[in-house]
Amino acid sequence: NAGVMQNPRHLVRRRGQEARLRCSPMKGHSHVYWYRQLPEEGLKFMVYLQKENIIDESGMPKERFSAEFPKEGPSILRIQQVVRGDSAAYFCASSPRPGGAGTDTQYFGPGTRLTVL
């Protein structure tokens, strides 16, 4: 699971700015998931993507949040006009292609800790 990479590891933004979080899945993984963890709480699902497709965005706020996973490059979680309540750790996870053994197993990246001032 050390193969899932996220950057930046720490991000500080002022209210109203944009935050852009990046995730590179493990080699060979084409499923990417984003989760949010508020301080002292569990992880909450936000969005599930495959290359060039959003499969499930049921956990993502309708406004200000968007996600993409382009054909080339990392997955990006974008938060526009950040507010203090957006301060949290954002974790990305990836899993293998469908059809293989262990396709449900999700491996997490180190997270991006977003602080909104």
Does 81 bind another protein (CB under 8 A)? Our answer is no
Does 36 bind another protein (CB under 8 A)? Our answer is no
> Residue 17 or residue 113: which is nearer to another protein going by CB?
113
| DSSP 8-state code for residue 38 | -
Report d(CA 12, CA 17) in Å as an integer.
Answer: 10
Does 109 bind another protein (CB under 8 A)? Our answer is yes
Does 33 bind another protein (CB under 8 A)? Our answer is yes
> Residue 7 or residue 17: which is nearer to another protein going by CB?
7
Q: How far is the CB of 114 from another protein (least distance, A)?
A: 14
Taking CB under 8 A as the binding criterion, the range among 16-24, 61-69, 75-83, 108-116 that sits at the site for another protein is 108-116
Cβ–Cβ under 8 Å, residues 60 and 67: yes
32-41 in b/e form (b: 16+ CB < 10 A) is bbbbbeeeee
Tally Cβ neighbours within 10 Å of residue 55. 12
Q: Which residue has the tokens 């700015």?
A: 17
**Closest by Cα among 87, 75, 82, 78 to 38:** 87
Q: Which residue in 7, 68, 110, 115 binds another protein (CB under 8 A)? A: 110
Q: Catalog residues that contact another protein under the rule CB under 8 A.
A: 1, 31, 33, 35, 41-45, 48, 55-56, 58-59, 91, 93, 95, 104-111
